[in-house]
């Protein structure tokens, strides 16, 4: 798939830093600087914070404020310098820790972000927004248990927290625990029945469980809300494909191509639908259209299978042999080549093909059974 579905992002919000009260000029400047931050007037905020540092180079409010300015401008390296400067003299400053971790997260340095967030947690702080960010970072580095524990801690504090529910849904899906993922997506849907992410995620869970009829229900609901939603259209098409309803599947592949006409992956899926319906001419058209965009192994496989169906067995073997060089342990390729050799009356070549797969370390029980049967002459 060319589209990617990732976790829900947590809104950044504004730093809730309250500079000290009083007539002190530095304190007044800090208050004005944070007011400018809250109104997204970054230039004026930067000027004031720089003026404060001229008078007090270790002022934690100014250093954190400048870190926030740079972070919002996506100048993360500069933001990190300000946060680290603050932490050098104000070791436990929670706003500097949060800002620093957010920068590492935005730069996709998840391990560094986790290290900083752990320092934050050592202070006994349990802000649910920060906790969900930490859990998300652990999910990104594939630490299932730590991520799950922190998400569940969020739900202890806020039982219907949408970011924790979403995160747990993604987490269990990533680890192929689809039944568990469904529990959390259903809770998400109860609090927000029109949530497209929850609907398509539930559909995908049932699709992975091969319970295609249940998956279709959720994808259909998503399409009622967003008729051109890529993930819902893909889910509908793939569920019908899994149910061997290729004519229905084709309708949705074509709907995706209406809005994304250059998508070669969807072209090959449309080609597969036509081929499985017996319409080899249209199938060949879509496979070749995909290959005109870029090399695609599925399109090459599709054309080889068309040649096989038409009785052009040697042409099919030649195409599949090329794919085998790129995918030396793809059992499907060896099976198809062996069948073509058998169709050409060359049983010895078929046995050699399957034997080569086994010698390379292939573990397909189906191919091993075929090889044993051919060797025994049955």
pLDDT by position in tens, the chain (length 378): 434 334 333 334 434 565 555 567 888 898 999 999 999 999 999 999 999 999 999 999 999 999 999 999 999 999 999 999 999 999 889 999 999 999 999 999 988 998 998 888 888 767 888 889 889 889 988 888 999 999 999 999 999 999 999 999 999 999 999 999 999 999 999 999 999 999 999 999 999 999 999 999 999 999 999 999 999 999 999 999 999 999 999 999 999 999 999 999 999 999 999 999 999 999 999 999 999 999 999 999 999 999 999 999 999 999 999 999 999 999 999 999 999 999 999 999 999 999 999 999 999 999 999 999 998 876
pTM score, two decimals? 0.79
Do 315-378 and 14-108 fall under one CATH topology? yes
Q: What gap in Å lies between CA 247 and CA 277, rounded to an integer?
A: 7
Give the three-class secondary structure for 139.
Answer: helix
Q: How far is CA 253 from the centre of its chain?
A: 21
**At the fourth CATH level, which superfamily is domain 14-108?**
Tetratricopeptide repeat domain (1.25.40.10)
Domain ranges of the chain: 14-108, 315-378
For the domain spanning 315-378, the CATH number is: 1.25.40.10
Cβ–Cβ < 8 Å for 173, 181: yes
What's the Cα-to-Cα distance from 96 to each of 116, 196, 224, rounded to whole Å? 10, 35, 45
Q: Considering Cα of 77, then 78, then 79, then 82, what sign does the dihedral take?
A: positive
Contacts of 77 (CB under 8 A, 6+ apart): none
**Token digits for 358?**
């086994």
Q: What gap in Å lies between CA 189 and CA 170, rounded to an integer?
A: 14
Write out the DSSP string of 77-133.
HHHHHHHHHHHHHSTT-HHHHHHHHHHHHHTT-HHHHHHHHHHHHTTT---HHHHHH
**Token digits for 27?**
């304190």
Q: What gap in Å lies between CA 15 and CA 78, rounded to an integer?
A: 17
Q: What gap in Å lies between CA 137 and CA 313, rounded to an integer?
A: 51
Q: What gap in Å lies between CA 77 and CA 113, rounded to an integer?
A: 14
Cβ–Cβ < 8 Å for 94, 125: yes
Q: What gap in Å lies between CA 53 and CA 26, rounded to an integer?
A: 9
pLDDT at 126: 72
Residue found under tokens 């469904």: 182
Cβ–Cβ < 8 Å for 323, 330: yes
CA angle, corner 209, sides to 149 and 164, nearest 5?
25
Q: What gap in Å lies between CA 30 and CA 65, rounded to an integer?
A: 9
Cβ–Cβ < 8 Å for 54, 32: no
pLDDT at 24: 78
Residue found under tokens 């906790």: 131
């Amino acid at each position: 798939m060319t589209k990617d579905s990732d976790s829900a992002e947590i809104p950044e919000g504004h730093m809730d830093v309250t500079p000290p009260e009083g007539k002190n000029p530095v304190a007044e400047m800090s208050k004005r600087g944070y007011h400018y931050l809250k109104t997204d007037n970054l230039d004026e905020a930067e000027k004031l914070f720089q003026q404060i540092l001229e008078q007090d180079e270790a002022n934690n409010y100014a250093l954190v404020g400048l870190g926030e300015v740079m972070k919002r401008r996506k100048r993360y390296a500069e933001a990190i310098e300000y946060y680290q400067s603050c932490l050098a003299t104000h070791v436990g400053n929670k706003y500097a820790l949060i800002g620093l971790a957010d920068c590492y997260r935005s730069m996709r340095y998840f391990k560094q972000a986790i290290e900083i967030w752990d320092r934050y947690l050592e202070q006994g702080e349990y802000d649910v927004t920060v906790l969900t960010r930490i859990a998300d970072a652990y999910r990104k580095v594939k630490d299932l248990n730590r991520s799950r524990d922190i998400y569940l801690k969020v739900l202890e504090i806020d039982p219907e927290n949408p970011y924790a529910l979403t995160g747990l849904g993604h987490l269990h899906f990533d680890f192929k625990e689809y039944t568990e993922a469904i529990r959390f997506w259903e809770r998400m849907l109860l609090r927000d029945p029109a949530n497209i992410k929850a609907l398509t995620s539930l559909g995908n869970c049932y699709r992975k469980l091969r319970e295609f009829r249940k998956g279709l229900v959720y994808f259909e609901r998503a399409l009622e809300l967003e008729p051109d939603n890529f993930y819902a259209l893909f889910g509908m098409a793939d569920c019908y494909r899994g149910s061997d309803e290729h004519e229905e599947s084709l309708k949705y592949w074509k709907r995706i191509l209406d809005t994304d006409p250059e998508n070669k992956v969807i072209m090959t899926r449309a080609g597969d639908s036509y081929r499985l319906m017996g319409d080899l001419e249209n199938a060949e058209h879509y496979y070749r259209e995909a290959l005109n965009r870029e090399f695609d192994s599925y399109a090459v496989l599709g054309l080889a299978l068309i040649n096989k169906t038409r009785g052009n067995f040697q042409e099919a073997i030649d195409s599949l042999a090329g794919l085998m060089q790129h995918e030396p342990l793809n059992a499907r390729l060896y099976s198809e080549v062996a069948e073509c050799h058998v169709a050409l009356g060359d049983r010895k070549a078929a046995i050699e093909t399957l034997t080569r797969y086994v010698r390379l370390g292939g573990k397909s029980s189906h191919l091993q059974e075929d090889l044993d049967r051919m060797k025994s002459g049955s």
